[in-house]
Amino acid sequence: MRYLPLTDADRRDMLGVIGVKSVDELFRDVPQSARLGGKIAGLPDHLGELEVERAFQAYAAKNVSSSVAPFFIGAGAYRHHVPATVDYMIQRGEFLTSYTPYQPEITQGTLQYLFEFQTQVTLLTGMEVANASMYDGSTGTSEAVLMANRVTRRSKALLSGGLNPQYRRIVETTAHWQGFKAVSGKPDAEGLEDLIAAVDKETSCVVVQNPSFFGHVRDFGKLAEACHAAGALLIVVVTEVVSLGLLKPPGEMGADIVVCEGQSIGNGLGFGGPYVGLFATRDKYMRQMPGRLVGETVDADGKRGFVLTLSTREQHIRREKATSNICTNAGLCALAFTVHLTLLGEAGFRRLAEINHTKAAQLADKVSALPGVKVLNDSFFNEFTISLGKPAAPVVEALAARRILGGVPASRLLPDDKSVENLLLLAATETATDEGMAALVAGLKEVL
Amino acid sequence: MDRSQGRSGGIASGSSVEAATFTGNRALQIEEPLIFEMGQPGRTGVDLPEPPKVKDRLNGLRRGGEIGLPGLSEPQVVQHYTRLSQKNYAIDMGVYPLGSCTMKHNPRINEKVARFAGIGDLHPLQPVSTVQGALELIDCLAHWLKTLTGMPAVAMSPAAGAHGEMCGMMAIAAALESRGERARRKTVLAPESAHGTNPATAAALGFTVKPIPANESGRVDLGALKAALGPDVAAIMLTNPNTCGLFESEIIEISKAVHAAGAYFYCDGANFNAIVGRVRPGDLGVDCMHINLHKTFSTPHGGGGPGAGPVVLSAALAPYAPYPWIVQDGDKWRIAEDGAAVDGQPLGRLKAFHGQMGMFTRALAYIMSHGADGLKQVAEDAVLSANYVMAALKDTMTPAFDGPCMHEALFDDTFLKDTGVSTLDFAKAMIDEGYHPMTMYFPLVVHGAMLIEPTESQAKEDLDQFIGALKSLAERAKSGTAAEAFKAAPLYAPRRRLDETLAARKPILRWRPSNNPPSVDPMKQAAE
Amino acid sequence: MADMKYTQEHEWIRIEGDTGTIGISAYAQEQLGDVVFVDVPQAGRKVAKGDSVAVVESVKAASDIYAPASGEVIEANAALADTPGDINVEPMGKGWFFKMKLADKSELDGLMDQAAYDAFVKSLG
């Protein structure tokens, strides 16, 4: 077997050194009744590399690649161009096959890029401190609420109706099993929700999303003031991180914790994961953060170096008193993010955001001209919501039959809510072309 | 540019004159500044067209001012991250015996297939009619995981081992809730040697963790466990093989006693590599177990993630599996997402979309490459290699327990007693020999623990060299004259020991222009 | 005359009238290693005997500090925020954690005096 270096002769020699006759003797602590005799039934034997490749080609052939169809899907994951350099870098074995940098003397590569990543995250979000990443934006949101509960010693979270419904359900699940209250607003398709009156002395945090799930762009400055007056924290979630190249950052709105899904920078769609969660807050809450943190220090020769720090927050030391049970971050996805953002730089990142917004504005103008279509948004970044006058899910299926990936019906994420049945979310990034937009408009004309 | 200076406060050592170079570099070890110290306005690593002017729809919220991102060209970015990569140790470079982390070979075919068009570029919310192959792929991996573990169900969505642990313990809480016993059963039993995640997870769900002592052989004390079981106990959390690298020989008695007391058995699957293909956890009475795909199934560790932590569930817990899961209807696949009508009582949702698909693809490629025949060999070679290391070092170092181990060899620091060399010093000296150190000071129940997991991926001659290096270090330490040298290690790594106290006392967690002290001439400093 | 007592958790309390000053022993700071962070309670906080009221952390360890008696915190050692190393240098002096007004001095009766504590530390090896 190509991955196993030991030969039968090696195995015999090694058994001799150990002083046993067979490898079975090494498994003697396994109870007799649980020892499998031969192979596990019902599973095939090993394949060569060529056969493995063919098997996956067969899977791929049964899917519609996002690169071959006009593509307008968003709702929390966005199709962007990722420079070839990014993928080359993350496939370098020194990054790919290293582990959590427990030994800083021989993992300065990982530690330094994570320090760069943390800095980039603070700059984008307008916050003071960021961690070395979370699993993704959705789980990061749940961790942010738990953190707000720790900081405020309260246990009621208010969740905006503009929050991605899957994010909302993750927080609700956490709330149910970990024992706090999560109060969710109704889906806010119009972008008119006002949560200020709902903030009270029991509220630990308010969770809003910007741009919202339905695409609206809001200023949460007043809400932040109301939160702070009541002793609550404002958590701002950003699922399209490219928007921060063009929009006022949450830190300037008074956010206390910012969570972003970082997939858009450096990370492909990947059918939903792995992605990378960005998590930033104020200095004063640093020690209440979940996840790993990299800090700057010096080595025995006085040279600058980086280490994992403030580890006493974490499970391997604090055990049942840890801020979170998390060990893994999204290291390699964070590297992809950092390399891509470094390639973009200030000018490139701003330009990329501008292009996204322009494409979406062009698309909104085109579809709003269609009879029976209404654009719900006055404001948006690269995604907006349209109302179709009929259920959106079958429309999307009909477009797919024409090999057009024409957005996400709101009902896909809100199946129990009749009020959103006719709504369709459309996203346009720099990858959208004039031809693609024309195909979508023509397709919609046919199926509506 | 000054490449070596950063945070002040360190003590410049009396490094010898021949160590000084103009650049501060040492041949292939190149000092590298932060990107923020390299950028220049006007430089970019991308070429993007200027978009046409349109009326913006930003609600007056256009970002003002500089973000502060540096501008670098593509070749600078390539050089920067290439240089950083060369400061890392990695599986691709040699023995990486980090116990409990299973640092096995990461095949590149896994990377290749994960990037196929039609797999790597699918949107998770594409219409299900356009992702039938992706759903079939997930279902195929799920079938393998269920069959290898002998369990009827699997929740695929958890993003990592600890996340899977949370999922499994939520399923237990859900089962107790439906029995009306959640308020009464608040105690979770866990051995003292447990991973830190176990108590952290249990406490987050409102359980009180009660430690179970180990017996002299390093295994759960069955008598103490039985005495602790009562109507207040929700579950036991047990790693098997355990964190001392030993198989819990009384595991079936343990699970029977746990079930008889009305509690559930959570198995931490971190060490599944030792038994894959040879033992099915389902045959041991396990109710749920997470599987770290980045351990047993070779998905890359990536500097600390991403991981994936599917959880296999027994019939008793299967009804509580979280959304989503894949359903096969005839020759079509669909996804049961939130709100889908189901027989069970799903505990909710843990992650957006459908799980770590990129990790699923890699793990399945690995599993297919090994097949049912090869996976068994993986476990056998991993166990054989660990026992070989243990046997070869047992007279030089001090194994913590007698008898065969599973896939990890655990030593304590008795052999270092009165040498002035600590486990940490010993580990740091391994770095100069070209190895990543083993896991240190874990499990906590063994003094100065050194947990060595060679995995199945090392050739015998590489293991022999590794053993030779450890023997040589142990003998040097025992000579009683080398403590100073050990304390100074490592000498040849990109950095010497780092001041973690300074880092924690005055945390600097991001670059700021003011972080840097005035530039110091490296030549002058070296001469001092 | 100040009265010095010790707990099994290696905390000391110096009793002056109905005021107690609390810190950790030389043995405790040695076990912890370089202290990097301390979280002390705010003045005015009411505490019950055995409550976890403060935290002391080194790079690799964290310990809770428990109130040795019930009462009210009257002053915290604010200087520790900037110089946590004081606890290593002078654990019984400028490394003190907080002062409290003691509600019931009889709660301290079970604590060890200097000789008993020295013997206790010795017994730990």
B63: CB partners within 8 A, 6+ apart:
A244, A245, A246, A247, A248, A249
Interface A–B counts its CB contacts (< 8 A) at 730
Which pLDDT value is given to residue A256? 98
Which pLDDT value is given to residue B171? 98
Q: What is the DSSP letter of A27?
A: G
Dump the DSSP string for B130-153: GBHHHHHHHHHHHHHHHHHHT-SE
A230: CB partners within 8 A, 6+ apart:
A199, A200, A201, A203
Mean pLDDT of chain A: 95
The size of chain A, in residues, is: 448
| Contact residues on chain B for C36, CB-CB shorter than 8 A | 501, 504-505
Q: Which helix (H) or strand (E) holds A243?
A: none
Comparing CB atoms, the residue among A245, A273, A415 nearest residue B356 is A273
Distance from CA of C35 to the nearest CA of B (A): 8
Interface B–C counts its CB contacts (< 8 A) at 14
What would the mean pLDDT of A49-60 be, rounded to a whole number? 98
Mean pLDDT of chain C: 90
Which pLDDT value is given to residue B35? 97
C59, C60, C63, C65: best to mutate for the A interface, most A CBs within 10 A: C59
Comparing CB atoms, the residue among B280, B351, B500 nearest residue A170 is B351
Interface of A with B in 179-198 (CB under 8 A): 179
Asked if the C-beta of B1 comes within 8 angstroms of chain A's C-beta atoms, the answer is: no
Neighbours of chain A (3+ CB pairs under 8 A): B, C
B59, B95, B157, B380: best to mutate for the A interface, most A CBs within 10 A: B59
Asked if residue B9 has pLDDT above 60, the reply is no
Place of tokens 């994961």: A273
Asked if the C-beta of C60 comes within 8 angstroms of chain A's C-beta atoms, the answer is: yes
| Contact residues on chain B for C58, CB-CB shorter than 8 A | 501
Asked if the C-beta of A170 comes within 8 angstroms of chain B's C-beta atoms, the answer is: yes
Q: pLDDT band at residue B516, thresholds of 50, 70 and 90?
A: low
Task: Determine contact, residues A131/A119, Cβ cutoff 8 Å.
Answer: no
Closest by CA position to A258, among listed A125, A92, A444? A125
| Contact residues on chain C for A287, CB-CB shorter than 8 A | 37
Rounded distance between C-alpha atoms, residue A168 and residue A162, angstroms? 9
ipTM of the complex: 0.97
| Contact residues on chain A for B137, CB-CB shorter than 8 A | 56, 59
Interface of B with A in 158-197 (CB under 8 A): 159-163, 165-166, 170, 173-174, 195-197
Distance from CA of C62 to the nearest CA of A (A): 6
Comparing CB atoms, the residue among C37, C60, C64 nearest residue A317 is C60
Dump the DSSP string for C100-121: EEES-GGGGTTSB-HHHHHHHH
Q: Is the model more confident about B195 or about B306?
A: B306
Q: Give percent of chain A with pLDDT exceeding 90.
A: 93
Distance from CA of B313 to the nearest CA of A (A): 18
Distance from CA of C59 to the nearest CA of B (A): 6
A146, A297, A352, A358: best to mutate for the B interface, most B CBs within 10 A: A297
Most confident of A279-283, B215-219, B238-242, C82-86: A279-283
| Contact residues on chain A for B115, CB-CB shorter than 8 A | 87
Interface of A with B in 253-312 (CB under 8 A): 261, 268-276, 286, 292-307, 309-310
Neighbours of chain C (3+ CB pairs under 8 A): A, B
Comparing CB atoms, the residue among A122, A348, A401 nearest residue B510 is A122
Instruction: Show the tokens assigned to B215.
Output: 């017996």
Which pLDDT value is given to residue A40? 80
| Contact residues on chain B for A354, CB-CB shorter than 8 A | 51
Closest by CA position to A163, among listed A129, A205, A123, A203? A205
| B505/C36 touch (CB, cutoff 8 Å), yes or no | yes
Lowest mean pLDDT, pick from B241-255, B268-282, C29-43: C29-43
Rounded distance between C-alpha atoms, residue B229 and residue B260, angstroms? 9
Which pLDDT value is given to residue B18? 60
C57, C60, C65: best to mutate for the A interface, most A CBs within 10 A: C57
Asked if residue B4 has pLDDT above 90, the reply is no
A422: CB partners within 8 A, 6+ apart:
A387, A388, A389, A390, A391, A392
Q: pLDDT tens for residues A211-258?
A: 999 999 999 999 999 999 999 999 999 999 999 999 999 999 999 999
Which pLDDT value is given to residue B461? 97
| A10/B460 touch (CB, cutoff 8 Å), yes or no | yes
What would the mean pLDDT of B187-206 be, rounded to a whole number? 90
Which conformational region is residue B221 in: left (phi greater than 0), alpha (psi within -120 to 50 degrees), or beta? beta
Q: pLDDT tens for residues A337-374?
A: 999 999 999 999 999 999 999 999 999 999 999 999 99
Q: pLDDT tens for residues B390-417?
A: 999 999 999 999 889 999 999 999 999 9
Residue environment code for A373-405, b if the CB has 16+ CB neighbours within 10 A, otherwise e: bebbbebbbbbbbbbbeeebbebbbbbbeeebb
Q: pLDDT tens for residues A253-273?
A: 999 999 999 999 999 999 999
Distance from CA of C112 to the nearest CA of B (A): 28
Mean pLDDT of chain B: 92
Instruction: Show the tokens assigned to A410.
Output: 């709101």
| A98/B275 touch (CB, cutoff 8 Å), yes or no | no
Which pLDDT value is given to residue B521? 39
Task: Determine contact, residues A273/A267, Cβ cutoff 8 Å.
Answer: no
Dump the DSSP string for B340-405: ---SS----B-SSTTS-HHHHHHHHHHHHHHHHHHHHHHHHHHHHHHHHHHHHHTTTSEESSSS--
HSE toward the beta carbon, residue B43, CA cutoff 13 A: 16
- Within 10 angstroms of residue C53's Cβ, the number of other Cβ atoms is 22
Asked if the C-beta of A172 comes within 8 angstroms of chain B's C-beta atoms, the answer is: yes
What would the mean pLDDT of A407-424 be, rounded to a whole number? 96
Asked if residue A439 has pLDDT above 80, the reply is yes
Comparing CB atoms, the residue among B137, B300, B499 nearest residue A97 is B300
Which pLDDT value is given to residue A355? 98
Comparing CB atoms, the residue among C37, C58, C62 nearest residue A318 is C62
Task: Determine contact, residues A56/B276, Cβ cutoff 8 Å.
Answer: no
The 3-state secondary structure of A254-316, one letter per residue? CCCEEEEECCCCCCCCHHHCCCCEEEEECHHHHHHCCCCCEEEEEECCCCEEEEECCHHHCHH
| C60/A318 touch (CB, cutoff 8 Å), yes or no | no
Which pLDDT value is given to residue B403? 83
Q: pLDDT tens for residues B466-494?
A: 999 999 999 999 998 999 999 999 999 99
Which pLDDT value is given to residue B196? 84
Rounded distance between C-alpha atoms, residue B357 and residue B120, angstroms? 9
Asked if residue B381 has pLDDT above 70, the reply is yes
Q: pLDDT band at residue B522, thresholds of 50, 70 and 90?
A: very low
Which pLDDT value is given to residue B7? 54
Asked if residue B339 has pLDDT above 90, the reply is no
What would the mean pLDDT of A165-173 be, rounded to a whole number? 97
Q: Which residues of A touch C (CB under 8 A)?
A: 287, 311-312, 317-318, 321
